[in-house]
Amino acid sequence: QDAGAAQMARARQGTLTKPPGSLGRLEDLAEFLAGWQGHAMPALDKVQALVFAGNHGVCAQGINPFPQEVTAQMVANFETGGAAINQLCRLNGADLTVVALDLDRPTADFTSRAAMDDAETLEALQRGATAVQQADALILGEMGIGNSTVAAALAHAILGGDAQLWVGRGTGSDATARAHKAEVVARGVALHAARTPMGKLAALGGREQAAICGAVIAARLARIPVLLDGFICTASVAPLWAANPALLDHCLIGHASAEPGHNGLCAAMGKRPLLDLGMALGEGTGAALALGVLRGALACHRGMATFAEAGVSDA
Amino acid sequence: QDAGAAQMARARQGTLTKPPGSLGRLEDLAEFLAGWQGHAMPALDKVQALVFAGNHGVCAQGINPFPQEVTAQMVANFETGGAAINQLCRLNGADLTVVALDLDRPTADFTSRAAMDDAETLEALQRGATAVQQADALILGEMGIGNSTVAAALAHAILGGDAQLWVGRGTGSDATARAHKAEVVARGVALHAARTPMGKLAALGGREQAAICGAVIAARLARIPVLLDGFICTASVAPLWAANPALLDHCLIGHASAEPGHNGLCAAMGKRPLLDLGMALGEGTGAALALGVLRGALACHRGMATFAEAGVSDA
């Protein structure tokens, strides 16, 4: 982070025609973007949205009412522009790329063995990292039938507590299904409890979770600020956070998911989501919607007159 | 409200390529806009933003560090495009009109007599109502040095409790100033305690508060959905709410203000703000930023493919 640029942005905020601090988090966001972009006047001219898709062996445990074919069907829907993420990227000016990760080759069922071996994990990390282009900000999202179970397992494995805390209704599940999901999560986490955080990513995660981690690391190295989506995205990077919380310093969380585990994850990471609208769709939709808040922050930061320019009396 | 259009919008939401309910409040907003606009496919092609400005006799009590001249200076800043509201309206596609209400003739000091007489109140209501144009949505905001004190007085007069509950730091005030502000508010409210809700609007409100009420009524008659801004806007319509809560059925609250009284007002009205970003600027900025959320709701509602169109398997 460029502390000088951040400080110059903060100083500019103090000269704009408004009471100091009255734009709340919009002022913090301008400073945050300035710090990561290394400019006192940050921009969002090019915003990349990356949605990673994967399939999961744990679906064999019957944790999701949708068939795994829906992952590929939704990828096709992304590609023809029919999904929610397409509409929100178009609205808020983000360039969407969908990366389908070996959908015809689901990971292994994590209740019997590691979901991915080391080579598969590294490949998924790599594909995530290489998908990141130079941009002013990066939006991350995911799609994968069964991956709210994967996310719950990662959150439970990294943060502990009761498995039920991390398990929500996911995509269309009811209360009975939820109890079953918690039992599957607890079993998987117990099986792989001895692993390191990144070992847990391999053992419990899917390819899209590893790809998200790879993209976050690549963005960190390129100093690109990141908007994570909701529960599944945040759980995906929990292993990075456990390895070193500073790896997520450039990440914002787009929205507070309706999935019950998200609040605990955000609290542990000390990050407050930008939006709280009861969404639980994934795909990056909460992040793409939150991009509008970032654009609002910069519209004010860049476009407002100073007290001196406007001839307004300062207090 | 057109219940048929709202129901058709709700039915459409159930056919779109996402788990039912997963867009959270975005789905509710699509239905809300459909109901008020009377179309299953609502639009936001034309959005009007109205900012009303007024000056307040209660400034004689020393409740604000800024001189009243700043109100006119900020109106000039709005007119030349330098304020926060200009940037946010431009970003989110709202047409901004600023209505300065007799700035050189402040209302009377409400601690000694009614701020406005009946004729002045009616004129301000009328000016608010006639400023409303036919549009797909209306954003309301305000500017007026001292008007967070006016808002606190209206909230206290309508909802009771302790005056200190309703008084925040306002524009640049410190803790001592805040205690003084609470004392001024308590004195004013006590003086006019016998009045009806609309009588309290006249006695404690300013011209911009009455104009906001007039605009809300005009929008209600024209079935135009309204985005109120934050604390001062919400307090301005508290007398309408006290007269008949249904008068605000077409109103959303754009953001949760950092002013401490806002939460109590929203809770009393049973309305949850769309955004919560620590903003406390006024001008309509929280509502203009929240317009982006409404646009997101309609982008999904109008643009997403149905399960049938996309060939995605439903659960």
| β-bridge partners, A165 | none
Show pLDDT as tens, one digit a residue, over chain A (315 residues): 899 999 999 999 999 999 999 999 999 999 999 999 999 999 999 999 999 999 999 999 999 888 999 999 999 999 999 999 999 999 999 999 999 999 999 999 999 999 999 999 999 999 999 999 999 999 999 999 999 999 999 999 999 999 999 997 655 568 888 899 999 999 999 999 999 999 999 999 999 999 999 999 999 999 999 999 999 999 999 999 999 999 999 999 999 999 999 999 999 999 999 999 999 999 999 999 999 999 999 999 999 999 999 999 875
Using H for helix, E for strand and C for coil, what is the string for B147-201? HHHHHHHHHHHHHCCCHHHHCCCCCCCCHHHHHHHHHHHHHHHHHCCCCCHHHHH
* A85 contacts on B by Cβ (under 8 Å): none
- Contact B86/A303, CB-based, under 8 Å? yes
Chain A, residues 180-219, CB within 8 A of chain B, namely: none
Could you give the CA distance from residue A149 to residue A181 in angstroms, rounded to a whole number?
A: 7
| Partner B contacted by A308 (CB < 8 A) | no
* pLDDT the model gives residue B171: 58
Could you give the CA distance from residue B18 to residue A240 in angstroms, rounded to a whole number?
A: 29
Residues 6+ apart with CB under 8 A from A113: none
Domain B47-293 has CATH 3.30.300.30: no
Mean pLDDT for B221-250 is 98
pLDDT in tens, A244-277: 999 999 999 999 999 999 999 999 999 999 999 9
Residue B130, min C-alpha distance to chain A (Å): 29
* pLDDT the model gives residue B206: 97
Given a contact cutoff of 8 angstroms between Cβ atoms, the answer to whether B44 and A267 are in contact is no
| Partner B contacted by A275 (CB < 8 A) | yes
| Partner A contacted by B66 (CB < 8 A) | yes
Given a contact cutoff of 8 angstroms between Cβ atoms, the answer to whether B85 and B141 are in contact is yes
- A79 catalytic, yes or no? no
- Look-up of token digits 């400073």: A31
Residues 6+ apart with CB under 8 A from A225: A32, A33, A36, A37, A136, A137, A138, A219, A250, A251, A252
Could you give phi then psi for residue A251, rounded to 5 degrees? -105, 135
Q: How many CB pairs under 8 A join A and B?
A: 189
* B171 contacts on A by Cβ (under 8 Å): 19, 22, 315
State the CB neighbour count (10 A cutoff) for residue B208.
Answer: 33
* pLDDT the model gives residue A65: 85
Could you give the CA distance from residue B23 to residue A175 in angstroms, rounded to a whole number?
A: 20
pLDDT in tens, B53-109: 999 999 999 998 889 999 999 999 999 999 999 999 999 999 999 999 999 999 999
Torsion angle defined by CA atoms of residues A111, A113, A115 and A120, in that order, rounded to the nearest 10 degrees? 180
Q: Which two tokens stand for residue B264?
A: 């109590």
- Quick one: which of A87, A53, A76 has its CA closest to B310? A76
| Partner B contacted by A272 (CB < 8 A) | no
Residues 6+ apart with CB under 8 A from A228: A140, A216, A234, A237, A251, A252, A253, A254, A287
Is the confidence metric ipTM above 0.90 for this complex? yes
- Quick one: which of A284, A248, A1, A281 has its CA closest to A168? A281
Residue B100, min C-alpha distance to chain A (Å): 16
Structure letter (DSSP) for residue B55: -
Given a contact cutoff of 8 angstroms between Cβ atoms, the answer to whether B274 and B253 are in contact is yes
Assign A139 to helix, strand or coil. strand
Given a contact cutoff of 8 angstroms between Cβ atoms, the answer to whether B17 and B110 are in contact is no
Residues 6+ apart with CB under 8 A from A135: A46, A47, A48, A224
pLDDT in tens, A119-155: 999 999 999 999 999 999 999 999 999 999 999 999 9
**Chain center to CA of B233:** 4
Could you give the CA distance from residue A112 to residue A128 in angstroms, rounded to a whole number?
A: 26
Q: What is the topology classification, in CATH, of domain B3-41+301-310?
A: 1.10.1610
- Look up the CATH architecture of domain A47-294: 3-Layer(aba) Sandwich (3.40)
Could you give the CA distance from residue B56 to residue B77 in angstroms, rounded to a whole number?
A: 20
Domain residue limits, chain B: 3-41+301-310, 47-293
* B303 contacts on A by Cβ (under 8 Å): 82, 86-87, 90
